[in-house]
């Protein structure tokens, strides 16, 4: 129970407590934690010695706090929980609560590197059938390693940032043409934020996942399918992906998701040693995709073939270092049914099967369209935890 007005029973209650960065009236960025429809100003709390985190909560991003490591993350979370549940602290803490409706939410981390994986068997199979009809949907290496590519950290933006339709080369019957993408799409994903770095030349084992990963965000990896189709062979995605990646304003700490870990799908053939995680666990996150306010899909993250721990181990198996603020995303989350896909490429089967969105018919995104991705996870004692939403509206090409 919390003494904070309206927070009991909220999916942003004391079992959640996601971190973010906010400002009011155009002021300086400040770290806060969400409780119900309020933001607890952690910068002010640390300045008043109510929370101790080596001064890192007075910074403009979460990076310095995340670099402290899991013992400090857990200690600060326990202290925040105490402040928000013990009525003895109410007089000191209540003045530090800011109404959510009065804040501007900012990008919570300074993104160091960004990696995007391709970890849903259902998504990979669907895309294989759409792009390579008549051939095996999965390439021979897919079940042996988590496929991924390096994205562009500088175009990771906070939820609510408008997305300008990208321009680039796309194929036509007469050869490539340059112009705005006409097959603009989304990818509903889950992202993992690295707190503790690792030195170059050192692998990170699957068992060390929780020692390095601070928390989870929702991700929309906007995709220009026509630009992507022309450029992706032989080296993979580039301009079709690098123009914008939207992430939640709130980072849900791993400590909040203890009840959401569930057995991941069986892997056949058996994986190589460095990818063998025991227990083999994924996360029961239930995503919802809305297109112009209409629900069009419910992707289930629990069906992902490759787990977050395996992705982290693979990312570093060659000795690549981790940096505080690294973001790696799961790849598109899709389930076995059409109603569970995480991209409009799949929802409309490559544009061949248009869908109704409100009173209009769509294959891919039109200017002015808004996409919002939300997610929930099971919490303790039958409660529900919400992840911060990620939303964006398409603006015309420039």
189 is in an annotated binding site: yes
Give the number of C-alpha atoms closer than 13 A to the C-alpha of residue 290, restricted to the C-beta side: 13
332 is in an annotated binding site: yes
> What number of residues does the chain have?
398
First to last CA, the chain: 51
Asked if omega into 314 is within 30° of 0 (cis), the reply is: no
359 is in an annotated binding site: no
Q: What's the CA gap between 373 and 172, in Å, rounded?
A: 32
132 is in an annotated binding site: yes
Q: Which residues pair with 283 in a beta bridge?
A: 261
For residue 312, give both structure tokens. 């982290």
228 is in an annotated binding site: yes
Catalytic residue among 89, 122, 123, 150: 123
232 is in an annotated binding site: yes
- 123 a catalytic residue: yes
Q: Are the C-beta atoms of residues 302 and 284 closer than 8 Å to each other?
A: yes
Q: Are the C-beta atoms of residues 364 and 223 closer than 8 Å to each other?
A: no
Q: What's the CA gap between 53 and 362, in Å, rounded?
A: 49
72 is in an annotated binding site: no
Cα–Cα distances (Å) from 283 to 253, 335, 388, in that order, read 13, 14, 16
337 is in an annotated binding site: no
225 is in an annotated binding site: no
Indicate the annotated binding residues for Mg(2+). Answer: 221, 241, 245
Active site residues: 123
Please state the residue numbers annotated as binding site for Ca(2+): 116, 187, 189, 221
The binding site comprises 116, 118, 132, 187, 189, 221, 228, 232, 241, 245, 332
């Amino acid at each position: 129970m919390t003494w904070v007005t309206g927070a009991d029973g909220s999916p942003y209650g004391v079992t959640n407590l996601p971190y973010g960065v906010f400002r009011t009236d155009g002021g300086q960025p400040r770290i806060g934690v969400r409780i119900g429809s309020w933001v607890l100003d952690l910068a002010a709390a640390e300045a008043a010695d109510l929370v101790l985190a080596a001064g890192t909560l007075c910074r403009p991003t979460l990076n310095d706090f995340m670099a402290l490591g899991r013992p400090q993350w857990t200690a600060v979370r326990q202290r925040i929980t105490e402040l928000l549940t013990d009525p003895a602290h109410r007089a000191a803490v209540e003045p530090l609560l800011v109404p959510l409706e009065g804040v501007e939410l900012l990008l919570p981390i300074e993104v160091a590197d960004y990696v995007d994986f391709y970890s849903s068997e259902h998504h990979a199979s669907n895309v294989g059938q759409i792009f390579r009809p008549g051939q095996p949907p999965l390439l021979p290496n897919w079940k042996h390693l988590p496929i991924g590519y390096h994205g562009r950290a500088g175009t990771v933006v906070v939820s609510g940032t408008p997305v300008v339709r990208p321009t680039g080369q796309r194929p036509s019957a007469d050869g490539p043409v340059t112009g705005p993408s006409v097959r603009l799409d989304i990818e509903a994903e889950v992202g993992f934020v690295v707190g503790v770095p690792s030195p170059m030349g050192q692998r990170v084992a699957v068992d060390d996942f929780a020692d390095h990963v601070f928390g989870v965000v929702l991700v929309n990896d906007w995709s220009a399918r026509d630009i992507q189709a022309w450029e992706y062979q032989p080296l993979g995605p580039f301009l079709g992906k690098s123009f914008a990646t939207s992430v939640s304003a709130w980072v849900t700490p791993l400590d909040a998701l203890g009840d959401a870990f569930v057995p991941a799908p069986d892997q056949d053939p058996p994986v190589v040693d460095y990818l063998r995680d025991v227990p083999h666990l994924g996360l029961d996150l239930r995503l919802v995709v809305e297109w112009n306010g209409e629900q069009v899909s419910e992707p289930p993250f629990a069906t992902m073939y490759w787990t977050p721990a395996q992705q982290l181990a693979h990312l570093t198996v060659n000795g690549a270092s981790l940096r505080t603020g690294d973001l790696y995303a799961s790849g598109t989350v899709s389930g076995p049914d059409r109603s569970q896909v995480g991209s409009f490429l799949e929802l409309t089967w490559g544009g061949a099967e248009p869908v109704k969105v409100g009173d209009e018919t769509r294959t891919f995104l039109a200017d002015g369209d808004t996409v919002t991705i939300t997610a929930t996870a099971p919490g303790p004692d039958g409660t529900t935890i919400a992840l911060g939403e990620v939303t964006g509206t398409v603006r015309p090409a420039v």
